[in-house]
């Protein structure tokens, strides 16, 4: 059984014919957990309540997730996988277009994810930062951040971005995009001004990244 599979099918899952006494409890648990996470926050998430909703005994989740933290870690991992796919999709759609447009596409995709699933994104960062984080989770996070790093590397090859360690070069631009995403997630930004703000931020970032 692979978490990747669970994560990948999480969104498209159909809940046909309630699996009674057996079935794909792990995936169903993750689905319900994610909804509870966005609706009530990680602190209020109750394993017993999830089990009740699904119609299974409170001890059943134990078969699939060792404890509450393990369930949250699986949720975070599935979040990274979906974020990676989202970012990769945005970048590949903008392939061949000017650097500024590719960066804008990437930023919009990231901010869009943050606006739609703020609690999940927060959980993803918190869980990844946790010293007890699994290798699986760390690797999923690394794969995700490889997408923006790849955009920088490509732009260095075409001369749109100053040479140097891509991570060091891009960190200020990433901080801006992350800041916009974080502020959006906690409702500090009006959705109407979001697109314009991303545009301004990217314009400045591109200026800052350009060789002189």
Partner DNA sequence: ACCTGAACACCGTTCAAGT
Token pair 């801006």 is found at 176
- In whole angstroms, the minimum distance from the beta carbon of 123 to a copy of itself comes to 11
- Residue 42 binds: one of a copy of itself, DNA, none (C-beta under 5 to 8 A by kind): a copy of itself
Q: Is 59 in the site for DNA (CB under 7 A)?
A: yes
What is the C-alpha separation between 115 and 93, in angstroms, rounded?
A: 21
**Is position 38 an interface residue for DNA (rule: CB under 7 A)?**
no
Please report whether residue 33 would count as binding DNA according to CB under 7 A. Answer: no
17 binds, among a copy of itself, DNA, none (CB under 5 to 8 A by kind): none
Q: Least distance in Å: CB of 16 to DNA?
A: 16
- Residue 176 in contact with a copy of itself, rule: CB under 8 A: yes
Of the CA atoms within 13 Å of residue 45, those in its CB half-sphere come to: 24
User: For DNA, which stretch binds (CB under 7 A), given 19-27, 163-171, 174-182, 203-211?
Assistant: 19-27
Q: Does 142 bind DNA (CB under 7 A)?
A: no
Size of the site for a copy of itself (CB under 8 A): 29
How far is it, in rounded angstroms, from Cα 203 to Cα 81? 28
Enumerate binding residues for a copy of itself (CB under 8 A): 42-43, 125-126, 129, 168, 171-172, 174-180, 182-183, 186-189, 193, 197, 200-201, 204-205, 207-208
Q: Which residues bind DNA (CB under 7 A)?
A: 19, 21-23, 25, 45-49, 51, 56-60, 62-64, 66-69
């Amino acid at each position: 059984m692979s978490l990747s599979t669970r994560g990948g099918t999480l969104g498209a899952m159909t809940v046909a014919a309630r699996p009674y006494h057996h079935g794909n409890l792990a995936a169903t648990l993750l689905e319900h957990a994610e909804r509870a996470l966005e609706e009530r926050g990680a602190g209020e998430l109750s394993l017993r309540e999830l089990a009740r909703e699904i119609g299974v005994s409170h001890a059943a989740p134990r078969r699939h997730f060792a404890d509450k933290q393990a369930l949250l870690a699986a949720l975070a991992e599935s979040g990274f996988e979906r974020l990676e796919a989202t970012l990769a999709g945005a970048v590949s759609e903008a392939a061949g277009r000017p650097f500024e447009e590719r960066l804008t596409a990437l930023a919009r995709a990231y901010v869009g994810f943050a606006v739609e699933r703020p609690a999940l994104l927060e959980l993803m960062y918190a869980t990844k930062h946790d010293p007890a984080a699994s290798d699986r989770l760390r690797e999923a996070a690394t794969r995700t951040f490889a997408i923006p790093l790849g955009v920088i590397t490509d732009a260095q090859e075409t001369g749109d971005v100053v040479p140097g360690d891509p991570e060091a070069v891009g960190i200020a631009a990433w901080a801006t995009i992350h800041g916009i995403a974080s502020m959006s997630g906690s409702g500090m930004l009006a959705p109407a001004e979001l697109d314009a703000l991303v545009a301004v931020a990217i314009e400045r970032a591109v200026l800052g990244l350009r060789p002189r």
